Amino acid sequence: MKTHNDLMKGLIVIVISTTMITCTKKNEEEQQNISKKEIIDKQFLTEKKQSKLTPDTVLEILKARNKEFSNDNLTIRNTSKRIRKSSLGQFPGAVILSCLDSRVPVEDIFHSGIGDLFVARVAGNISNEDILGSLEFACKVSGAKVILVLGHEHCGAIKSAIDNVELGNITALLSKIKPAIEKTNDFKGEKSSVNPGYLEAVTKANVLHTISNIRNNSPLLKEMESKGKIKIVGAEYHMETGNVEFLSD
């Protein structure tokens, strides 16, 4: 028969064990938060940090940094020390496929500094062989965990495609946007470049069309995504607010 002392000892053991489990869990959570903070802050993204990133964590970072940008809560990220250090190597967390538009300063939108992001720019954020090769280099060779196709409001390339502009090599470029226009045939309202609603619908359809092209035309990136090594996502940049709206495909 257990004595009072035995019962008290057993109770103490249970309390200590529960406390240790709680403390361990808390320490793990704190360590995870510290890890994310270290990556989100102004420190240079090292190979060690990049290797620990998951695609979901990179997306969290991009969203958090865009919030800093849109809220005008900015810090200095580029310093002479960082510039010198980045010359020894680069380990970006993501690659952004953006439009050529000068009003879309990608690194600023995601409040990032030298060495944080790969950026590929082409009018209408379309994909072709050269763009695909660049995305493959960024992810397969250099370790980026996210491909973000970034469209934006008031896109001149989208407007030109809607208006059937034909001019030099621009004609061939705009032809890559035409499938997005076809995908918005069920749009209710005026289908013209002067209708903001229609322009936005085509812009979003074009982002998703580019994502589809990436998956269809790059078996390498498609395989990496299927294995969870990268994520391919789309978004639209809203110029008037600075906010990046992430899209689901």
Question: Residue 99 annotated as binding?
Answer: yes
Side chain identity at 221, as an amino acid letter? L
Phi, psi (degrees; rounded to nearest 5) at 215: -65, -40
Average pLDDT over residues 63-88: 82
As to burial, measured by CB atoms within 10 angstroms (0-12 exposed, 13-18 middle, 19+ buried), residue 207 is: buried
75-84, 97-106, 153-162, 202-211: the lowest-pLDDT one: 75-84
CA atoms within 13 A on the CB side of 37: 6
Question: Residue 23 annotated as binding?
Answer: no
| Domain extent listing, the chain | 47-246
pLDDT digits (tens, 9 = 90+) for 187-215: 999 999 999 999 999 999 999 999 999 99
Distance CA 221, CA 232 (A): 9
Is the backbone of residue 234 left (phi > 0), alpha (psi -120 to 50) or beta?
Answer: beta
38-42, 49-53, 93-97, 220-224: the lowest-pLDDT one: 38-42
In CATH, the number for domain 47-246 is 3.40.1050.10
Kindly report the average pLDDT of the chain as a whole number. 86
Average pLDDT over residues 159-176: 98
Phi, psi (degrees; rounded to nearest 5) at 45: -75, 110
Q: Considering only CA atoms, which of 185, 151, 149, 181 is closest in space to residue 165?
A: 181
Question: Residue 154 annotated as binding?
Answer: no
Distance CA 97, CA 116 (A): 14
**pLDDT reported for residue 3:** 56
Question: Residue 152 annotated as binding?
Answer: yes
Share of the chain above pLDDT 90, in %: 69
pLDDT digits (tens, 9 = 90+) for 83-100: 677 766 688 999 999 999
- Going by pLDDT thresholds of 50, 70 and 90, the confidence category of residue 21 is very low
